[in-house]
Structure 1
Amino acid sequence: MIPVVTPSEMAKIDTEASEPINVLIERAGNAVAWHARKMLKGTYGKRVTVIAGKGNNGADGIEAAKCLQRWGVKVNIIQADDDDMKVDESDLLIDAAVGTGLKRPYCAPHYSGPVLSVDIPSGICGLSGKSQGKPFVANSTITFQALKPGHLLADGPFHAGSIEIADIGLDVSSTSTFMLERSDVTKILNSRNDREHKWMSACWVIGGSGGMNGAPLLSAKATLRSGSGYVRVSTPGGTGEIPSEIVGFDIPTEDWEEYVIKNDFERFKAVVVGPGLGKTQMARKAVINLLSATQIPTVVDADALYAIGQQSLDPSDFGDHVVLTPHDAEYEYLTGHRPQTNRILDVRETAAKLNTVILLKGSTTIISHPDGRCLLVNNGDQRLATAGTGDVLSGVIAGLLARGISPFEAAAAGAWIHAEAANNCLAEGMIATDIIRVLPEVLDAANVG
């Protein structure tokens, strides 16, 4: 896992470091210089422009310039506050203008060559990833000791280019936020309980309503492909036609939660509730009653999130066995507002308040545990905005829950697997069922690392 710290957290880490700041700047500058040398593919006859601000970011750039000059590179240093700045063409521009200390909009000068940004492209907020002004678009960014949220959120990924993390000896062990990597998913999958019988990994998917019966079937198929040995699907009022691998189970239109609880409910290892369920008063009441009555690991998605948002709830009714999976609009159902500027902190506080695991979907998906731990997943792309992919994600998470993986880890690993499966589909024309089709090969590859 790669640590992620906010700009204010990193400032505190810098202050508490055992080494003086000049030593840290020297280490950072050397790291920038070596990365620049790699981008230059040598030093002979090379020209580099460094735009340096007044803070530590600028100091890192100036230190890098000294190293490059010692190696024979011709370096031109320009002060970031130079109103008459004119940037001549060179082999590389090192952006050390602002970094994570951005306090007002920054407009990058015109430059058509390759750019290496120090810490984060100037003009990108280190906390939110949002553009402020006209940021640099870097070919590569070198940051120190840990990623920053701005590398991963909003506009950040489109401006940072490839990211390298340099170790300069800072202690980031206090962080509780990490970005998930393939090796972490492998470890999570290999910690699962092997199933001996279909009931050892059974899942019940409850969803669907008039015109929306496809949503729970997408979840059910993904659950089967992700490790559940037995999947039961129920739609209030009648399930309709379903694939032979899935077991249909009719439940009544009204008070269906009581019927569910009385029919082998305790034998299931995971539950999905919400896909296509509808927002009627009966559906809302049933969802709340079901969630209040069970300790079975449960994925709550779509219309079931709306049901929670419409109730005045006691967080003790839930627990970390519940995984809520909203996108931004559904998050507003739960909290009364869209995700705030400090997106990670907002999700962390909501998870603690609701006493549940929260998975907030986005270009970087945020998974938070009530105890404050956060995992970030950012291996997906815009194709995951396709209709039905959220239903598939719920099914993937439920499949992992059915295998005995903890809800927090199942949510994070499920988000990574879901995105990786989309990456294995064609670039154009992907639909939700395509993701389901490639899930087994993604799981197999992740299982063996």
Structure 2
Amino acid sequence: MHGVWRTAAVRRAEAELMRGLPPLALMHRAAAGLAATCTQLLRAMPGKHAGAYGAHITVLAGPGDNGGDALLAAERLIRQGAQATAIAVMGERVHRQALRAFRDAGGRLATTAPTHTDLLIDGIIGIGGRPGLPERAVQLLETIHPRLTVAVDVPSGVDVDTGAVPGPAVNADVTVTFGCRKPAHVLGDAALRTGYLDLIDIGLGPYLECEGYLQVPTLDDMIEQWPFPDELDDKYTRGVVGIAAGSAEYPGAAILATAGALSGPAGYVRYAGAAKAQVHNHHPEVVGTDSVATAGRTQSWLIGPGSGTGEATAHELKQVLARPVPAVLDADAITLLAQSPHLLANREAPLVLTPHDREFERLYGTAPGDRRAEAAMALAKRLHCTVLLKGHHTIVADSDGTVYVNPTGHPALATAGTGDVLAGLVASLLAAGIPAARAAMMGAFMHGMAARAVASEIVSPVASQIAAELPGTIGALND
């Protein structure tokens, strides 16, 4: 699991670390890591096999430490044989000591930008800056055509703590960050501008708050935590999941949600609803019944995909929420809950809500906007539940303050029915005894992995193809 820290926490940690260091020591550490990454990138370029030797570097240097990091890294590259040009984006405002070292090494300070360069180092604005770029920076970025762009800490112009990109910003191929990940690396449009993220250890770890603002799961987390059955399990000990989904108008939602549940760890799936014949035709393993009341014992429930918002679904929702087992509310069930939030008044068992932005707005009263992690956390605390806010970077927020950001999102998931598959998978994880926030996080991660696998073979996969890929994707965790 990777932690993510906001600017204020990073600043506090840096201040503690620098108390025991000579002046500029931390900047030199950062510059050394940045220069090493740049050397590797240059070595990988066609015709640049000697690394920095003979390469042309352009530095866009802002007035702060971010610009200083860039200039000191360029100084190191010059000493390896590179030619380097620096432009002080804010005129006379530039880190003087770093500029002196850069020029002493043979670097050139220019007022006009070269049209072409091997490597552009973005040192315009660091984590302490406001989002957006000065007009001079925008003009320079339009003029320069680099083979690669490397951002220092974060791409300049982004909102570091939210990931929003409200105006012009650097679009990096690689971002070299120091000490820890920041929200802009994993949230919003900023994450899409980060490119490949290279994390440099500068000794900050012991000074960071023990828990980051956000947590980003990894494949190793899935391998360690996935509840595969063992020799002593039977279909009941693996967990029984109930699915109340679909309708005469939308039987496909029931089929897809059930497929998601079957791909997960639960050993038994019970379906309750109007589409039981269609579900049984597609999934003969599933036991079908007409209603939640007649479904028998389960360890979790999913309700809502394709169910409609009529009285029958409202009645079934009350039945599900009255049961002392974990539940997932998706789609139409979320709309009904938004109309009748009192239904949660006596609810104590774990609850996972899986809204997209419009459903979130119905529940919360306002859209999540740019502060998606904060919005999801606020809703989770208000309703005492887990919120899985769907999007390219899906957020999972728990009422205890834990927030995960899923790193496996893929455009292939932007198609009808994929949310039904995800909801079924999360319900299956709940039935297997996985805690709510972790179940939502793990479901989103593996759902994204399956989408990526299908998309590597099919240009525009549909939800049923992603569902069919899930068992193999999950099974690979156990190889």
Per-residue CA deviations over 1:99-126 (Å, capped at 9, x if unaligned) read: 3333252123422111110011112222
Which of residues 286, 301, 304 in structure 1 aligns to 2:333? 304
What SS does the corresponding residue of 1:155 show, helix, strand or coil?
A: helix
Which of residues 245, 252, 270 in structure 2 aligns to 1:207? 245
Q: CA deviation at 1:312?
A: 3.6
Using a 3 Å threshold, how does the CA distance of structure 1 residues 19 and 358 change in structure 2: closer, same or farther? farther
Structure 1 match to 2:66: 57
Which of residues 313, 318, 340 in structure 2 aligns to 1:283? 313
The aligned amino acid for 2:431 is A
The aligned amino acid for 1:11 is R
Structure 1 match to 2:429: 400
Query: For the residues of structure 2 that align with 1:77 and 1:361, how far apart are their CA atoms?
Result: 42
Structure 2 match to 1:254: none
Name the Cα RMSD after superposition. 2.3
Which of residues 400, 407, 414 in structure 2 aligns to 1:385? 414
Equivalent residues of 2:245, 2:257 under 8 A apart: no
Structure 1 match to 2:100: none
Per-residue CA deviations over 1:354-407 (Å, capped at 9, x if unaligned) read: 111111111111111211111111212111011000000011112222222222
What SS does the corresponding residue of 1:178 show, helix, strand or coil?
A: strand
What SS does the corresponding residue of 2:86 show, helix, strand or coil?
A: strand
Structure 2 match to 1:186: 223
User: TM-score w.r.t. structure 2 length?
Assistant: 0.85
Which of residues 169, 172, 177 in structure 2 aligns to 1:138? 172
Q: CA deviation at 1:192?
A: 6.9
Q: Residues 66-105 of structure 1 correspond to what in structure 2 (within 5 A)?
A: 66-82=75-91, 85-88=111-114, 89-105=116-132
Q: CA deviation at 1:67?
A: 2.0
Which has the higher mean CA deviation after the structures are superposed, 271-280 or 386-395? Answer: 271-280
Structure 2 match to 1:30: 32
Q: CA deviation at 1:191?
A: 7.5
Query: For the residues of structure 2 that align with 1:249 and 1:231, how far apart are their CA atoms?
Result: 11
Equivalent residues of 2:301, 2:320 under 8 A apart: no
Using a 3 Å threshold, how does the CA distance of structure 1 residues 213 and 153 change in structure 2: closer, same or farther? same
Query: For the residues of structure 2 that align with 1:336 and 1:445, how far apart are their CA atoms?
Result: 41
Query: For the residues of structure 2 that align with 1:298 and 1:195, how far apart are their CA atoms?
Result: 26
Structure 2 match to 1:13: 13
Using a 3 Å threshold, how does the CA distance of structure 1 residues 38 and 356 change in structure 2: closer, same or farther? same
The aligned amino acid for 1:208 is G
Query: For the residues of structure 2 that align with 1:15 and 1:284, how far apart are their CA atoms?
Result: 55
Q: Residues 286-365 of structure 1 correspond to what in structure 2 (within 5 A)?
A: 286-291=316-321, 293-313=322-342, 317-319=346-348, 321-365=350-394
Query: For the residues of structure 1 that align with 2:350 and 2:391, how far apart are their CA atoms?
Result: 22
Equivalent residues of 1:287, 1:304 under 8 A apart: yes
Query: For the residues of structure 2 that align with 1:70 and 1:285, how far apart are their CA atoms?
Result: 74
Structure 1 match to 2:97: none
Using a 3 Å threshold, how does the CA distance of structure 1 residues 203 and 194 change in structure 2: closer, same or farther? farther
Query: For the residues of structure 2 that align with 1:62 and 1:130, how far apart are their CA atoms?
Result: 27
Equivalent residues of 1:318, 1:354 under 8 A apart: no
Equivalent residues of 1:224, 1:399 under 8 A apart: yes
Q: CA deviation at 1:43?
A: 2.0
Query: For the residues of structure 2 that align with 1:32 and 1:109, how far apart are their CA atoms?
Result: 24
What SS does the corresponding residue of 2:117 show, helix, strand or coil?
A: coil
What SS does the corresponding residue of 2:242 show, helix, strand or coil?
A: strand
Query: For the residues of structure 1 that align with 2:231 and 2:442, how far apart are their CA atoms?
Result: 17
The aligned amino acid for 1:74 is Q
Question: Structure 1: which 5+ runs fail to align?
Answer: 252-256
Which of residues 250, 254, 270 in structure 1 aligns to 2:290? 250
Q: CA deviation at 1:329?
A: 1.0
Structure 1 match to 2:107: none
Using a 3 Å threshold, how does the CA distance of structure 1 residues 192 and 110 change in structure 2: closer, same or farther? farther
Identity %: 31
Structure 1 match to 2:264: 226
Query: For the residues of structure 1 that align with 2:131 and 2:450, how far apart are their CA atoms?
Result: 40
The aligned amino acid for 1:122 is S
Question: How many corresponding residue pairs?
Answer: 436
Equivalent residues of 2:132, 2:156 under 8 A apart: no
Runs of 4+ in 1 over 6 A off after TM superposition: 191-195
Query: For the residues of structure 1 that align with 2:111 and 2:405, how far apart are their CA atoms?
Result: 38
Which has the higher mean CA deviation after the structures are superposed, 214-223 or 67-76? Answer: 67-76
Q: CA deviation at 1:222?
A: 1.6
Using a 3 Å threshold, how does the CA distance of structure 1 residues 131 and 55 change in structure 2: closer, same or farther? same
Per-residue CA deviations over 1:141-173 (Å, capped at 9, x if unaligned) read: 111222222222232233221111111111333
Query: For the residues of structure 2 that align with 1:168 and 1:216, how far apart are their CA atoms?
Result: 51
Query: For the residues of structure 1 that align with 2:388 and 2:341, how far apart are their CA atoms?
Result: 21
- Alignment of 1:413 with 2:445, yes or no, is no
What SS does the corresponding residue of 2:262 show, helix, strand or coil?
A: helix
Using a 3 Å threshold, how does the CA distance of structure 1 residues 211 and 166 change in structure 2: closer, same or farther? same
Using a 3 Å threshold, how does the CA distance of structure 1 residues 442 and 11 change in structure 2: closer, same or farther? same
Equivalent residues of 1:326, 1:360 under 8 A apart: yes
Equivalent residues of 1:288, 1:307 under 8 A apart: no
Equivalent residues of 1:316, 1:355 under 8 A apart: no
Using a 3 Å threshold, how does the CA distance of structure 1 residues 193 and 290 change in structure 2: closer, same or farther? farther
Per-residue CA deviations over 1:286-327 (Å, capped at 9, x if unaligned) read: 414531x22212111111111111124386634561111111
- Alignment of 1:155 with 2:193, yes or no, is no
